[in-house]
Structure 1
Amino acid sequence: MSLRLVSWFLLLFFLNVFKHEVPAAESVLSASKTLVWGPGLEANVVLPARFFYIQAVDSSGKNLTTSPGEKTFEVKIVSPVEQFTRIWIQVLDRKDGSFLVRYRMYATYTDLHIHILLKNKHAAKSPFILKGPVYHEGCHCPQPSGSVWEAHMHCPQSFPQIDRDLSLLTSVDPDRNAQEIPQRFGQRQSLCHYTIKDNKVYVKTFGEHVGFRIFMDAILLSLTRKVRLPDFEFFVNLGDWPLEKRKPTEKIHPIFSWCGSNNTRDIIMPTYDLTESVLETMGRVSLDMMSVQANTGPPWPEKNATAFWRGRDSRQERLELVKLSRAHPDFIDAAFTNFFFFKHDESLYGPLVKHVSFFDFFKYKYQINIDGTVAAYRLPYLLAGDSVVFKQDSGYYEHFYNELQPWEHYIPIKADLGDLLEKIQWARDHDEEAKKIALAGQQFARSNLMGDSIFCYYYQLFKAYAKLQVTEPKVRKGMELVEQPADDLFPCHCHRTMVKDEL
């Protein structure tokens, strides 16, 4: 027998042994022990993109901690009374044994059946039945009771940042604010004056640059489609920098902003960036709190042990970071993708590098979060990955920063970056601890920065603020109605309106 023939026989023998004695990862998974949970399994949780989770479990009842393969579970969503369901579904493999399933509905259905299949077997308690009506994002059917809506959404009892911000206000006088705030800020700043009356949105703008109003309009319209808001009036700052610099002992004007600072007294909302990513998930944005969870790069041991940063030149410390990177390329990979603020220094800190996909950031173990004009609004997405974040000490903050703990959710670095190299070295010397911090930050983002939390935050902020008013909110001169977008293609019939009409 020739050597080549012997080789073939041996190869076939070993392949046969391997095939019969080493089961594939999928074959040890248990359909009945699989765990499935999340808000997307409840009819009353209306979100632009609904979502739920699947945890793969083996036959011994142990949760998998690595991916069994992105095609492991098949998800089908059907309505028994409709021939076609206009629903876009994505099963996102989080590479840690769990999956995030998201779906965007483009019509409203009487009932929905969610089938979760593992090798054609129903997983967990599949099919999950959502008794209708199950409304899509465009449907205007507000829940009349705010407390019922909060219960359906599983909103927390409170948000500490809201309590902190509103504790500086003993009362709110809409009449006085309507006069004083435009006089004080109207010419120099970009402001919107909103009134919510009978669950309709009215607005008047002040200043030249009011394009960012679209984000505020969008969240208010989306909220009023879902729940009846109290009547209230408020002013929104559309610029980067928070405005109210008066001390708590002085007469503070309530200004809503997307970013706060230690030197100002603005009332903080989730950033326009995070707000838009929630509203446009599976829509026109590619980076959102769900997509990032499925694009966290290679496993921790295979990530590059270098600190990574890309961005534009919107702060002096960013120039210092690039300089530091050049001096220590084995520690830091930092470069500019755009010059705007320090264009005259481009020859010193350039050349510009090509834009890098955000998901490619996670090829690196260490992510540097450094302020831009204000707080860097990328932090939610950096936390949601599985790299550890080095967060610059900063006087600016987003709505959730105060709940983050240094050395638990991120590694703190000095404002002037003076200890950055030392902290990177610490992370390299304490790899398991750094990984633990990365996972704690990731868990924080998964638990606190998803779409349901963002809607809850806005609602509870508006509810608490409305209670402070001492005069009646009004639709004032010069205000225009912000119309709900027309949904002619897939109109819905709100059962609450129908009940009211019948009564």
Structure 2
Amino acid sequence: MTVALCWCLLLFCLDVSRPELPVAQAGSVPSAGKTLVWGPGLEANIVLPARFFYIQTVDGSGRNLTTSPGEKTFEVKIVSPVEQFTRIWIQVLDRQDGSFLVRYRMYASYSELHIHIMLKNKHVAKSPYVLEGPVYHEGCNCPQPSGATWEEHMKCPQSFPQIDKDLSVFPSVDPDRNAQEIPQRFGQRQSLCHYTIKDNKIYVKTFGEHVGFRIFMDAILLSLTRKVWLPDMEFFVNLGDWPLEKRKPTEKIHPIFSWCGSNNTRDIVMPTYDLTESVLETMGRVSLDMMSVQANTGPPWPLKNATAFWRGRDSRQERLELVKLSRAHPEMIDAAFTNFFFFKHDESLYGPLVKHVSFFDFFKYKYQINIDGTVAAYRLPYLLAGDSVVLKQDSGYYEHFYDELRPWEHYIPIRADLGDLLEKIQWARDHDDQVRKITQTAQQFARNHLMGDSIFCYHYKLFQKYAKLQVTEPRVRKGMELVDQPTDDLFPCSCHRTRTHTQKKDEL
């Protein structure tokens, strides 16, 4: 089976909840020849901060293993035959379900890479996989001139439902008008960034006092422009929590990019700064990301605590009610505050503050309660990727992927006022097999829609479709400053790509 075909069959290969899949018996011996390997990390043209691919353990009779054959089952080596030293950090993450996630971060670019995947000194599947170069590392500024080619390499979907929905209320976008009107409307009271992308260079001007979160937007734009040539465009990013554009589509509305949307606003939603940073800093300075969660999902399902779990701060009234509910029903709910900031801390009502719990320890519990904070709770992607079921509060706030989630398929819905929470927890306890299936479907969703390649695709498709709506020429405005690419004196790279006049025309 080819790498491309295996990758396309991701759902088939990994979805162990599907009854028609052959499942190995306990004690089955992994087969090097029949085990499956696929994923973007086996493709030279897919540049990610941390590249990754999957291994699905299969036994000699062609049956998928659904429990771990052991953390050290597979050995992975990545080398460049023309380099004495290969500066690559590799981790093999055991997902405890018979599959493994292999991730690696390159600190230099190579003319060629060989990926060796071994099982007891035998090559697995089509190992060694040869990535014919050049194979660029994350810091290499070598954008693919053709957006269409980049999308094809990345296997980006044709569209994202939320992008189409958000842009549908903007028949056209006038950069000249927006450059004048948006700062007048929002620039005094809100924190904004005004960006222009011109000739794949990034320019920015900030408005407002609290603009520290600009670093997250700068980071994804810098990373994206190193990988693919972005269309010229001009746009405003809201650096605050709450979406801003409250006018109705029938009124004169302005396009504002935000990390969170709501049913009462018209902001254009991007993947949250938290999820985006975790992608950019995977195997770097963040410990919580969509890959590390998959290797830290707690004990096996039957051994998990059958209590609903929550930890957090007091950023919403319903969170106060949740903790009071927990104190009244400790056998059903374990919820406590780690910090008080928004409300007065009444220990008689809410109990003492507790120490922070490692996010990975959340998955010692079968049931995870997801309640809004100031806006949508940005922990949801990680909860979906773990091996627990999510009880999600009904909410008017949403992230970029909520439109593709289905209640009772990816999560158990609970009312906004939490009035049915105890009832839903009891239902979950009484229907363990159904809950297990919801958990596995949610994990599959996270693996397919919330990994790094999907986050880059989402940003690119959003910018590409937004740029086409512009009716005046994007310009570098007065007061804008250039956002420089970071320099890498230790591991510079040579870019072989050039942008032709034809490619410039094709972009328009």
Residues 237 and 346 from structure 1, CA distance in 2 versus in 1: closer, same or farther, beyond 3 angstroms?
A: farther
Residues 402 and 27 from structure 1, CA distance in 2 versus in 1: closer, same or farther, beyond 3 angstroms?
A: closer
> 1:46-87: CA deviations, max 9, x gaps?
000000000111111111000000000000000000010000
Is 1:489 aligned to residue 490 of structure 2?
A: yes
Residues 346 and 212 from structure 1, CA distance in 2 versus in 1: closer, same or farther, beyond 3 angstroms?
A: farther
> 1:406-434: CA deviations, max 9, x gaps?
00000000000000000000000001001
For residues 203-214 of structure 1, the aligned pairs below 5 Å read 203-214=204-215
Give the structure-2-normalised TM-score. Answer: 0.93
Larger radius of gyration: 1
SS at match of 2:53: strand
Paired position in structure 2 for 1:126 = 127
Paired position in structure 1 for 2:397 = 396
Is 1:406 aligned to residue 414 of structure 2?
A: no
Distance apart, 1:404 and its partner CA: 0.3
For residues 444-459 of structure 1, the aligned pairs below 5 Å read 444-459=445-460
For residues 45-444 of structure 1, the aligned pairs below 5 Å read 45-346=46-347, 348-444=349-445
Which amino acid is the alignment partner of residue 441 of structure 1?
A
Residues 458 and 499 from structure 1, CA distance in 2 versus in 1: closer, same or farther, beyond 3 angstroms?
A: closer
Which amino acid is the alignment partner of residue 108 of structure 1?
S
Q: Is the Cα–Cα contact under 8 Å of residues 171 and 470 in structure 1 kept in the other structure?
A: yes
Distance apart, 1:498 and its partner CA: 11
Q: Is the Cα–Cα contact under 8 Å of residues 145 and 498 in structure 2 kept in the other structure?
A: no
Q: Is the Cα–Cα contact under 8 Å of residues 145 and 499 in structure 2 kept in the other structure?
A: no
Paired position in structure 1 for 2:13 = none
Q: 5+ residue gaps in structure 2?
A: 1-24, 502-508
Paired position in structure 1 for 2:34 = 33
Q: Is the Cα–Cα contact under 8 Å of residues 258 and 269 in structure 1 kept in the other structure?
A: yes
Distance in 2 between residues matched to 1:195 and 1:249, nearest whole Å = 27
> 1:427-448: CA deviations, max 9, x gaps?
0000100111111111100100
Distance in 1 between residues matched to 2:452 and 2:406, nearest whole Å = 22
SS at match of 1:92: strand
SS at match of 1:311: strand
Distance apart, 1:347 and its partner CA: 5.1
Distance in 1 between residues matched to 2:284 and 2:292, nearest whole Å = 12
Distance in 2 between residues matched to 1:395 and 1:293, nearest whole Å = 28
CA RMSD of aligned residues (A): 1.3
Distance in 1 between residues matched to 2:182 and 2:406, nearest whole Å = 35
Q: Is the Cα–Cα contact under 8 Å of residues 339 and 346 in structure 1 kept in the other structure?
A: no
Residues 457 and 370 from structure 1, CA distance in 2 versus in 1: closer, same or farther, beyond 3 angstroms?
A: same
Distance in 1 between residues matched to 2:68 and 2:339, nearest whole Å = 37
SS at match of 2:366: strand
Give the structure-1-normalised TM-score. Answer: 0.94
Distance apart, 1:345 and its partner CA: 3.3
Distance in 2 between residues matched to 1:411 and 1:451, nearest whole Å = 26
Distance in 2 between residues matched to 1:28 and 1:401, nearest whole Å = 40
Percent identical among aligned pairs is 88
Distance apart, 1:343 and its partner CA: 3.2
Distance in 1 between residues matched to 2:456 and 2:29, nearest whole Å = 39
SS at match of 1:343: coil
Q: Is the Cα–Cα contact under 8 Å of residues 26 and 72 in structure 1 kept in the other structure?
A: no
SS at match of 2:69: coil
Q: Is the Cα–Cα contact under 8 Å of residues 383 and 441 in structure 1 kept in the other structure?
A: yes
SS at match of 1:129: strand
Distance in 1 between residues matched to 2:290 and 2:400, nearest whole Å = 16
Which amino acid is the alignment partner of residue 474 of structure 1?
R
SS at match of 1:495: coil
Residues 498 and 383 from structure 1, CA distance in 2 versus in 1: closer, same or farther, beyond 3 angstroms?
A: closer
Distance in 2 between residues matched to 1:320 and 1:212, nearest whole Å = 31
Distance in 2 between residues matched to 1:159 and 1:498, nearest whole Å = 28
Distance apart, 1:349 and its partner CA: 1.4
Paired position in structure 2 for 1:4 = none
Distance in 1 between residues matched to 2:486 and 2:250, nearest whole Å = 43
> 1:248-280: CA deviations, max 9, x gaps?
100110000000000000000000000000000
Paired position in structure 2 for 1:9 = none
Q: 5+ residue gaps in structure 1?
A: 1-23
Distance in 1 between residues matched to 2:372 and 2:283, nearest whole Å = 28
SS at match of 2:497: helix
Q: Is the Cα–Cα contact under 8 Å of residues 175 and 470 in structure 2 kept in the other structure?
A: yes
Distance apart, 1:386 and its partner CA: 1.1
